[in-house]
């Protein structure tokens, strides 16, 4: 499972003209589910994301987690994070999990993240064409992969 986490001052997802998720200060999480991922990947990654200390404290140092900063979390499914460009110039998405596996794991990630945050996370709509608008704060962008736990 791979996540691109962006610290934002605002973010929203729109599907067919309808806003499906919106946050002010917080984290926009673009989430890709890989073949072979399981509930343990979803739990580990969700807890890691919510615990990341990337919000500034009173001294201006990145030392607070999203919950401590009073922020929200917006999770958007994005299978293209699993793209392989090893051969040629057309990306292969063979490493991405199929929807019958990816949907339950995306939902599990959202449940684990909500539990770690102590409130619901906002979401996009799985497999929909989404417009994502954000204001990256910093900018701060971090990539985490559940298979590379360092």
**Cα four-point dihedral sign 14, 15, 19, 21:** negative
Q: Does residue 6 carry a catalytic annotation?
A: no
- The catalytically annotated residue of 6, 78, 112, 123 is 78
- The catalytically annotated residue of 6, 14, 55, 79 is 79
Q: Does residue 25 carry a catalytic annotation?
A: no
CB 64 within 8 A of CB 55: yes
Q: Does residue 78 carry a catalytic annotation?
A: yes
- Active-site residue list: 78-80
């Amino acid at each position: 499972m791979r996540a691109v986490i962006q610290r934002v001052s605002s973010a929203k997802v729109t599907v067919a003209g309808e806003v499906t998720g919106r946050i002010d200060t917080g984290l926009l999480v673009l989430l890709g589910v890989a073949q072979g991922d399981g509930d343990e990947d979803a739990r580990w990654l969700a807890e890691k994301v919510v615990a990341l200390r990337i919000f500034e404290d009173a001294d201006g140092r990145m030392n607070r987690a999203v919950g401590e900063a009073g922020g929200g979390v917006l999770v958007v499914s994005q299978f293209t994070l699993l793209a392989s460009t090893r051969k040629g110039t057309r990306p292969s998405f063979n490493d991405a999990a199929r929807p019958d596996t990816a949907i339950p794991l995306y939902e599990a990630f959202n449940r684990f993240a909500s539990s770690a945050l102590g409130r619901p996370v906002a979401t996009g709509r799985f497999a929909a064409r989404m417009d994502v608008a954000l204001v990256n704060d910093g900018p701060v962008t971090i990539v985490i992969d559940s298979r590379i736990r360092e």
